[in-house]
Amino acid sequence: MKLAFWERQMGLDNCDVMIVGAGIVGLAAGLALRKHSDQTRITLIDRSPFSDGGSTRNAGFACFGSPRELLEDAKQQGEAAMRQTVERRLRGLALLTSELGAGAIGLEATGSLEVSLASDVHAHTTAAEIDWLNAFLGPITGRKATFTTPPKSSLQGIDGERVASVWHSPLEGMLQTSALMLTLEQRAAQAGLVIRRGLQVRQMRVLADGRAELDIEPAFVPPGSQFTVTPVRTLLTINGATQLLVPDADVARTPNLVLVTKPLRGPLPVCPIHAEGGYIYARPLPTGQMLVGGGRHCGKASETEVERRLLDWLGEIVPVARGAEVAMRWTGHLGIGSSRSTRIEQVAPHVFGAWRLGGMGVATGMMVGKELAHLSRK
Structural domain harbouring 316: 107-173+253-336
Amino acid at 172: E
In the prediction, which pLDDT does 133 show?
Answer: 98
Q: How confident is the model at residue 17 (pLDDT cuts 50, 70, 90)?
A: very high
- Window from 26-40, 90-104, 214-228, 312-326 with minimum mean pLDDT: 214-228
Say if residues 193 and 43 touch (Cβ distance below 8 Å): yes
Look at residue 357 in the predicted model and tell me its pLDDT: 95
Whether the pLDDT of residue 60 is over 80: the answer is: yes
Identify whether residues 196 and 318 lie together within a single domain: no
pLDDT of residue 136: 98
**Is pLDDT at 312 greater than 90 in this prediction?**
yes
Average pLDDT on 361-373 reads: 97
Distance (Å, rounded) from C-alpha 194 to C-alpha 45?
Answer: 8
What are 91-124's pLDDT values in tens digits? Answer: 999 999 999 999 999 999 999 999 998 777 667 8
DSSP letters for 51-74: -TTTTTTS--EE-S--HHHHHHHH
E strands in 262-322: 273-275, 280-284, 290-294
**Does residue 285 lie in a domain region?**
yes
- Whether residue 349 is contained in a domain is answered as yes
Considering the domain architecture, whether residues 163 and 229 belong to the same structural domain is answered as no
Quote the number of domains for the chain.
2
Please state, in angstroms and rounded to a whole number, the distance separating the CA atoms of residues 128 and 118: 19
240 and 371 in a single domain? The answer is yes
Asked if residue 222 has pLDDT above 70, the reply is no
* pLDDT at res. 226: 86
What does R_g of the chain's alpha carbons equal in angstroms?
A: 21
Examine residue 101 and state whether it is found in any structural domain, yes or no. Answer: no
The pLDDT tens digits of the residues spanning 169-220 come to: 999 999 999 999 999 999 999 999 999 999 999 999 999 999 999 999 988 7
Res. 378: pLDDT tops 90:
no
Examine the pLDDT at 323 and tell me if it is beyond 70: yes
Structure confidence at residue 223 (pLDDT)? 67
> Which of 246, 241, 240, 235 is CA-nearest to residue 19?
235
Within-domain flag for 300 = yes
83 within some domain: no
Kindly state whether residue 161 falls inside one of the protein's structural domains. yes
Please check the confidence at residue 67 and state whether its pLDDT lies above 80. Answer: yes
Can you point out the beta strands (E) in 299-358?
A: 326-336, 343-348, 351-355
Per-residue model confidence (pLDDT) at position 224: 66
Asked if residue 354 and residue 247 are part of one domain, the reply reads: yes
Mean pLDDT of 346-353: 98
Question: What average pLDDT does the segment 260-284 reach?
Answer: 95
Q: How far apart, in Å, are the Cα atoms of 115 and each of 24, 124, 149? A: 29, 9, 11
Q: Is residue 97 part of a domain?
A: no
99 in any annotated domain: no
CB-based contacts of 61: which residues, under 8 Å, 6+ apart?
112, 172, 174, 175, 272, 281, 283, 362
* Residues 302, 288 within the same domain: yes
CATH code for position 320: 3.30.9.10
The yes-or-no verdict on residue 234 having pLDDT over 90 is: yes
Residues of the chain with pLDDT > 90, as a percent, come to 83
- DSSP class of residue 153 equals G
Question: For residue 49, what is the domain's CATH number?
Answer: 3.50.50.60
